[in-house]
């Protein structure tokens, strides 16, 4: 055990990992998409375990997050710090020996395509479109994709392994993913920690080369009703699946969608191509709009609605659920 850093000695003593496994972890890099409750929980475990991460999230910290999103503080919510920034600062304070490469962005194929080599993709998102995008991205790169989902006290885990069906697209019509969200049905923190722990342990197994130990079944847990299921899903392969059977990857297309409704929040995201925030700050101030500036965003009010502009050109329009209304308000403020 002499060549294992002090901080990892208990983990390396575990027979499943060992000094060799610990050294493997140090050489691996994982992409984690989404830094809500799941993303916060799984990133905390993996960074402590010695795994370097690329983390990405499109949102900022709010007070309603604090009940379950364990990386964030009241100050982060008061400052409306982007989750990628708040998470990265906290994770690096936990472990400076790993790399945490943080991005404030809405994940798209355009964003994923230029990424360097990664070993595994973790799903901590809240929507089906992004999950299918990550499913296709991982299949195309021939790396595992660890799907996870929680709502209420109910959670699911499934690992899509390269070269082995079914993939998430095959399972989609069998999974209860549409309908209820954390905003409508709520969520309790323990199920998040449970599902995140399953993701973390499968990540450790894969990265240390213990592939034979990996769980191949779909795991379902209802912590409130005391029910759990482990389902063999091999027979659910869709033989016409364009992702795992035809290698066509229908989600790997340039993003033409200019707007998105954020999960259950009365917030519409509008995309603009911009050249930095400085010019727009001047423009808004010339129009006598009071603008609050942070290192990452510009924020102002327009017709009673809060508008938040990120450096990558996304504007979050609060208090609306109609994309046309949101686009019209952004046009009024920033021009077409």
Which residues have CB under 8 Å from 30's CB, separation 6+? Answer: 46, 51, 52, 53, 54, 118, 119, 120, 121, 122, 203, 207
Q: Taking contact as CB under 5 A, which single stretch among the options 112-120, 122-130, 159-167, 300-308 is the one that binds Zn ion?
A: 159-167
Tell me if 170 contacts Zn ion by CB under 5 A: yes
Q: Minimum distance from CB of 5 to Zn ion (Å)?
A: 40
Decide: residue 307, CB within 10 A, 0-12 exposed, 13-18 middle, 19+ buried.
buried
**Is 182 noted as a catalytic residue in this protein?**
yes
- Comparing CB distances to Zn ion, the nearer of 143 and 267 is 143
Q: Tell me which DSSP letter residue 234 carries.
A: G
Q: By CB under 5 A, name the one of 90, 169, 205, 271 that touches Zn ion.
A: 169
Are the C-beta atoms of residues 83 and 61 closer than 8 Å to each other? yes
Longest dimension (CA), the chain: 65
**3-state SS, residue 164:** coil
Which stretches does DSSP call E strand in 199-276?
Answer: 218-222, 227-231, 259-261, 267-271
Q: Minimum distance from CB of 231 to Zn ion (Å)?
A: 16
Site for Zn ion in 96-155 (CB under 5 A): none
Catalytic annotation, pick one of 182, 241, 244, 333: 182
Tell me if 244 contacts Zn ion by CB under 5 A: yes
- Comparing CB distances to Zn ion, the nearer of 167 and 317 is 167
Q: Taking contact as CB under 5 A, which single stretch among the options 19-27, 164-172, 307-315, 324-332 is the one that binds Zn ion?
A: 164-172
Tell me if 161 contacts Zn ion by CB under 5 A: no
Q: What distance lies between CA 258 and its chain's CA centroid? A: 20
Q: By CB under 5 A, name the one of 11, 95, 108, 243 that touches Zn ion.
A: 243
Q: Taking contact as CB under 5 A, which single stretch among the options 81-89, 162-170, 188-196, 319-327 is the one that binds Zn ion?
A: 162-170
Helix axes 189-207, 18-26, angle to 10 degrees: 100
Q: Which residues are catalytic, by number? A: 182
């Amino acid at each position: 055990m002499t060549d294992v850093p002090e901080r990892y000695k208990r983990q390396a003593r575990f027979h499943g990992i060992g000094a060799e496994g610990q050294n493997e972890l140090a050489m691996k890099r994982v992409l984690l998409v989404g830094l809500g409750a799941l993303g916060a929980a799984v990133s905390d475990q993996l960074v402590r375990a010695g795994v370097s991460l690329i983390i990405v999230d499109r949102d900022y910290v709010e007070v309603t997050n604090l009940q379950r999103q364990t990386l964030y503080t009241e100050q982060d919510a008061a400052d409306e710090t982007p989750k990628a920034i708040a998470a990265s600062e906290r994770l690096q304070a936990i472990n400076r020996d790993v790399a945490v490469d943080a991005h404030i962005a809405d994940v798209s194929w355009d964003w994923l395509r230029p990424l360097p080599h990664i070993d595994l993709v973790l799903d901590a998102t809240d929507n089906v479109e992004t999950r299918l995008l990550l499913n296709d991205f991982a299949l195309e790169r021939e790396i595992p994709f660890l799907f996870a989902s929680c709502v209420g006290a109910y959670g699911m885990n499934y690992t899509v392994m390269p070269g082995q069906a079914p993939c998430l697209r095959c399972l989609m019509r069998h999974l209860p993913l549409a309908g209820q969200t954390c905003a409508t049905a709520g969520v309790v923190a323990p199920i998040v920690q449970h599902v995140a722990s399953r993701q973390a342990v499968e990540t450790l197994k894969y990265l240390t080369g213990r592939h034979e130990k990996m769980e191949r079944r779909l795991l379902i847990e209802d912590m409130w009703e005391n029910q759990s299921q482990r389902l063999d899903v091999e027979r659910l392969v869709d033989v016409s699946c364009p992702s795992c059977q035809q290698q066509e990857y229908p989600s790997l297309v340039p993003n033409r969608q200019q707007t998105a409704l954020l999960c259950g929040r009365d917030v519409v995201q509008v995309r603009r191509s911009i050249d930095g925030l400085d010019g727009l700050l001047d423009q808004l101030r010339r129009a006598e709009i009071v603008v609050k500036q942070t290192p990452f965003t510009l924020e102002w009010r327009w017709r009673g609605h809060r508008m938040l502009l990120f450096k990558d050109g996304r504007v979050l329009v609060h208090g609306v659920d109609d994309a046309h209304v949101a686009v019209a308000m952004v046009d009024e403020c920033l021009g077409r």
